Amino acid sequence: MSYKDAERIFKGLHSKAIKVFRGFDKNVKINRTNWKYKEKGGGQSVELANGKIIEKGAVNFSSITGKIIPGSALSTKIKSKARNFSATGVSIVIHPENPFVPCSHLNIRYFELGDKSWWVGGGYDLTPYFPFADDVNYWHKNAKIITDELDKSLYKKFKKDCDEYFYLKHRKEKRGVGGIFFDNLNELPKESYFAYLSNVMDTYLSSYSQIVKNRCNIKYEKKHKEFQLFRRGRYVEFNLLYDRGTVFGLQSGGRAESILMSLPPNVMWSSNKSKIFKKFEQELKKYI
């Protein structure tokens, strides 16, 4: 499988995701921006906004080639001394209007380093504000099914890695209820991993669509919306302080608007939590 093959697969998954989101939110506005990378390549950033269900979302595709790979993309497992790279992938973040619908995130990516080294990474996670046990169990069950198809020994690790990665050290709390997270996979044939990445995308889309359907018509009050905006602050903190995708994008000289498009449109910070916020947070922390 060549890099061009990988690029073509990701473009197809990018288009599929946009179609799904447009399907469950007919009112959402879609704004596409094609951009070019400073060295070679580029991508398409698709902003979703002002829908009935989606307050703001981003569905982005990129494929870039450069001479020096940013340090944020490397790990101790990557032994190659080469520094020229190609990287392609899809990233998604959805911030819903209704606070009873959770925020969701997906990222899948493929790297080539020099002539020989390659690896895949990615995952998805769920960030509810008012969690439902059925949704959380459904989310994790489906992630386990597809990961077991790749290798039954991996789900426990991918789930644990997700919980550890999406963790705000300064708050001593997880960002959400987790999902799966994986990186530096290259021991199996590329075809096996790309079949898994396709399953990851399909399962993310179907799982999230079902949860949206279950919760999008729940009536909410001002206090619920304000708590959603308050908890969105945690999402912003993670993305700006810890997220490796954000760091890689900025280090590689990517399009800033695309890199930061995942941030929510409205956020609220407060140093003093009301009694109702403390109550909502106590319920939430039973799951995170």
Q: Point out the residues that are catalytic.
A: 105
Q: How far apart are CA 220 and CA 240, in angstroms?
A: 29
Q: How far apart are CA 142 and CA 148, in angstroms?
A: 10
53 CB-near residues (< 8 Å, 6+ apart): 24, 25, 27, 28, 96, 97, 98, 101, 212, 216
Tokens of 112: 């080539």
Q: How far apart are CA 182 and CA 198, in angstroms?
A: 14
Closest of 178, 90, 97, 91 to residue 139, by C-alpha: 178
- The DSSP code for 27 is T
